[in-house]
Amino acid sequence: MEEKILLAHGSGGKLSHDLIREVFLPAFDNPMLRPLDDSAQVVIEGKRLALSTDSYVVKPLFYKGGDIGRLAVFGTVNDLAMCGASPLFLSASFVIEEGFPIATLKKVVHSMKVASEEAGVMIVTGDTKVVEKGSADQIFINTAGVGFIEEGVHLSSSNVKPGDRVIVSGFMGDHGISVITEREGLGFRQKVASDCAPLNRLVKKMLEFNPSIHCLRDPTRGGLATSINEIAQQSKVGICIEEASIPIRESVRGVCEMLGFDPLYVANEGKLVAFVESKIAERILGVLKADEMGVDSAIIGEVVSEPRGKVILKTSIGGSRILDMLTGDLLPRIC
Amino acid sequence: MEEKILLAHGSGGKLSHDLIREVFLPAFDNPMLRPLDDSAQVVIEGKRLALSTDSYVVKPLFYKGGDIGRLAVFGTVNDLAMCGASPLFLSASFVIEEGFPIATLKKVVHSMKVASEEAGVMIVTGDTKVVEKGSADQIFINTAGVGFIEEGVHLSSSNVKPGDRVIVSGFMGDHGISVITEREGLGFRQKVASDCAPLNRLVKKMLEFNPSIHCLRDPTRGGLATSINEIAQQSKVGICIEEASIPIRESVRGVCEMLGFDPLYVANEGKLVAFVESKIAERILGVLKADEMGVDSAIIGEVVSEPRGKVILKTSIGGSRILDMLTGDLLPRIC
C-alpha cells in the first residue's frame, strides 16, 4: 500500500477497497460492517434498521441537474434504499470554510430541504463546524441516515446467484459527466444533466412487487463497472454483461470519447442496478419501466458461476474482455 | 447576520445559534429538530431512538489525553447519552487531504477502535472521501450515532424547572486548555490532559438511580456558560450559579489567566451538567461521586424563575453578574 493518501483512495475503486480492507475493516470489524453493503443492517429492540453515512465534497457545488445539497440528501437516501430500507430520518453536518457566503449556504440548505421533501425524509439533527480560510474547500456536507427494513426483505451484495439477471434502471454516467463538464467549463451546446434523484419510492415498488430481489446497488463513485465488480467479489460469482444493452446517452458517450473516459466507470446518482432471479426479471423490468424514474431500464446481463469474482464484458463488436474495478482516480470529487 | 461565514459561526456560541435559527431551523423545521437537544429523539416502529451527528475538525490531531479519533467516538456517544439514550451503533466518515500519511490514519482509526470498545458501541458503516492537497486540513471525521431510549426517560433542555439543582460532573475546561496548549506549543511543565471520555455508563447509573432527571447536557464548544444559557433559554427559566462552587483545576485557571480566557467558556469533552429536582440532588451527586468519572462532581447552582432565559453568576467576591453565551470565537477548531 502507498504510504500516503492519494486522490485514488477516494475514487470508490480499487485503492478505496484496499483502504477499507487494510485500514478500516481490521480495526472496526464486526458482523454489521463486514458485508460492506451501501448501508449497515442492525437490529434494535427487535426492529431491523439500516444505517448509512456519506460525506459529500463535490466540486463545483452547483451543476446542471443538481448541487451538493440534493446530492447529500439523495446519496444517503439511496444507500438506505439499496438495503431495502425505507429511509426515515437524516442527520446533516457541515464543515464550512471561513468566508463562505451565507447566501450560498442558504441556497444549499434550501436545496436539501426540497430534496428531503421529495424523498419523504426528515432532517432531524445536525452540526456545523467552521475552519479557517484555506483549511477546507468551501463546504463539505455529511449526511447519515436511518431507515426501517420490512419483514421478508433481505438484500445484500452476497446474495447474488448464477442465473440471476442484471438490470439497470436507466442511462449510465449522467452525473459524472454533468459535474466534470461544469468543473472544467466545457462549453457543450447541450449540457448533460445529473441524474441525481431519490430511488426509495422506486425500490419500494420493486419490493412490493417481489420482496425476494437478491441485491440492489447504486453505481456511484467508480460507476457501473466498479459496483458490479464488488458484487461479483462478495457473492463469489461471475457477471456477464452485454455492452450493447447498457443504456448510455449519445451526449455522455460523446463527452467520454473526447475526454478519454469509459462511461462504465462514471458515477451515477439516481440509478440502481438490480440482481433478480431470471424468472421474475422481465416483470421487475416492467415495474421499473412503469415508473418515470425507470423508463429507460434494461436487462444488461446475467450472473454465471465462472470466472468467480470477475466481470466479463461482451463487447458490441462480438469480443469479450474482463471488466475490472476502477483503478486510479478517474474523476476526483464527483460526489 | 454577517454576509459571510466567520470562525465564530462554528464556536458553539451566539453566532452558531444565530446560524441555526436563521438558516437551518427555518429550512428543516420539524418536531424532532426543534428542541435542539444534543440528539434528536425519533420513534421508529414504536421504539424511541436518539440520533446524533458531529463533524470533528480539531487541530492539532493529537494532544495530551486524546486525539481526533477518541473525540469523534466519545463526542457522538455523549450527545446520545445526554438524551438518555444507550448509544449502540456509530457511522464514521472521513474527509482526508491528499498526501495524509496512511500511518497517521491507522493511528487515528486504532484510536477510534479503542474508544468504541471503551464506550461499548460498534462502528457499523463508513465512508472515505479524498480531496486535493490544500483543499482540507489533514483529516476531518464525522460520526453519527443511534441509541435506544428506555421507557420513562424524558430528558430535554426544555424540562428544567425553578427549584432544580445544577450539578457538574467534574473539572471544567480541561479539554479546551489541553488542545490550545498543544496547538500553540506552550511549554508548561505540567500539561493539562483533555477530559475526553464516554459518559454513557455514568448516565446509565444516574438514570437507573432515578429516571426523572430533567436534563443533561455536555458542555462542549462554548463551555459551561454557553450550555447553561441554552438551557435557560429553552426552559424559559433563570439559572443561578455560584462561581466558587465550580470545579476548575488550578492549572486550567493558570493557563486561562495567562491567555485571557474565561474557563467557563472553555470546551469539555467528558463532563456533563445535570438539572435535577432539589429533593434528589444530593443523592444524584452521591451516584456521580461514587463513579471514577464523577469523583469531582459538585452542585454549582439552582434554577430560579427570574430572570427568564438568563444565567446569573454569583461571583467569589460576593457580587453577581449576567453570564452570557459565548460571543466571538474563543477557540476555533477545539473539537
pLDDT attached to residue B193 = 97
Is the separation of the CB atoms in A90 and A122 below 8 Å? yes
Mean pLDDT of chain A: 96
Q: Least CB-CB distance to A131: which of B45, B53, B333?
A: B333
Contacts A7 to B, Cβ<8 Å: 98, 130, 132
Cβ partners under 8 Å of residue A21, min gap 6: none
| 3-class secondary-structure state, position B46 | coil
Kindly tell me the sign of the dihedral angle through the C-alpha atoms of B24, B27, B29, B33: negative
Residue B162 touches chain A, beta carbons under 8 Å: no
Name residue, grid cell 452558531: B16
Query: Considering just the CA atoms, what is the radius of gyration of chain B in Å?
Result: 19
pLDDT at B281 over 60: yes
Interchain contact, B23 vs A97, CB within 8 Å: no
A43 touches chain B (CB under 8 A): no
**d(Cα A227, Cα A204) in Å, to the nearest integer?**
21
Looking at chain A, the whole-number percentage of residues with pLDDT higher than 70 is 99
Number of separate helices (H) and strands (E) present in chain B: 9, 14
Pairwise CB contact (< 8 Å): B96 & A7: no
Interface test with B, best of A80, A106, A117, A124 (most B CBs within 10 A): A124
**By the CB < 8 Å criterion, does B35 face chain A?**
no
Find the CB nearest A124 among B40, B57, B95: B40
CA distances from A150 to A35, A101, B90, B148 (A): 19, 43, 22, 19
- Chain A residues inside the 8 Å CB shell of B134: 134
Model confidence at A329, in pLDDT bands (50, 70, 90)? Answer: confident
pLDDT at position B2 over 60: no
At A2, is the pLDDT very low, low, confident or very high (cuts 50, 70, 90)? low
CB pair distance less than 8 Å for A47 and B52: no
Please report the pLDDT score of residue A300 as a whole number.
98
Strand partners, B67: B62
**A98 Cβ under 8 Å from any chain B Cβ:** yes
* Residue B91 to residue A10, Cβ atoms within 8 A: no
Q: What is the ipTM of this complex?
A: 0.97
Record the cell numbers describing residue B231, joined without a space: 438551557
* CB-based contact B124 A30, cutoff 8 Å: yes
Q: Is a pLDDT exceeding 80 seen at residue A83?
A: yes
Q: Is B334 on the interface with A (CB under 8 A)?
A: no
**A157-322 maps to CATH 3.90.650.10:** yes
**Is the pLDDT reported for residue A88 higher than 70?**
yes
pLDDT tens readout for residues B223-279: 999 999 999 999 999 999 999 999 999 999 999 999 999 999 999 999 999 999 999
User: At B158, is the secondary structure helix, strand, or coil?
Assistant: coil
Inter-chain residue contact A132 with B92, CB threshold 8 Å: no
- Which residue spans of chain A are classified as CATH 3.90.650.10? 157-322
Tens digits of per-residue pLDDT, A210-247?
999 999 999 999 999 999 999 999 999 999 999 999 99
| Chain-centre distance for alpha carbon A290 | 22
Contacts of A89 in chain B (CB under 8 A): 32, 40, 42, 44, 51
Chain B residue with Cα closest to A111: B27
Q: What is the mean pLDDT of residues B37-64?
A: 97
B42 and chain A in contact, CB less than 8 A: yes
The model's confidence at residue A318, banded by pLDDT at 50, 70 and 90, is very high
pLDDT for A279 equals: 97
Mean pLDDT along residues A91-98: 98
The per-residue pLDDT for range B136-163, each reduced to its tens digit, is 999 999 999 999 999 999 999 999 999 9
pLDDT of B189 reads: 72
User: What residues does CATH 3.30.1330.10 cover in chain B?
Assistant: 7-149
Read off the pLDDT of residues B161-204 as tens digits, 9 standing for 90 and up: 999 999 999 999 999 999 999 998 887 777 899 999 999 999 99
Task: For the domain covering A7-149, report its CATH number.
Answer: 3.30.1330.10
| Separation between Cα atoms, residue A57 and residue A71, nearest integer Å | 10
Rounded-to-5 percentages of helix, strand, coil across chain B: 35, 25, 40
pLDDT tens profile A18-68: 999 999 999 999 999 999 888 999 999 999 999 999 999 999 999 999 999
- Which whole number is the average pLDDT over A136-143? 98
Query: What confidence tens digit (pLDDT) does each residue in B116-139 have?
Result: 999 999 999 999 999 999 999 999
Q: Is the pLDDT of residue A106 over 80?
A: yes
List the strands of the sheet with A122-131, edge to edge. Answer: A40-44, A47-56, A139-149, A85-97, A122-131
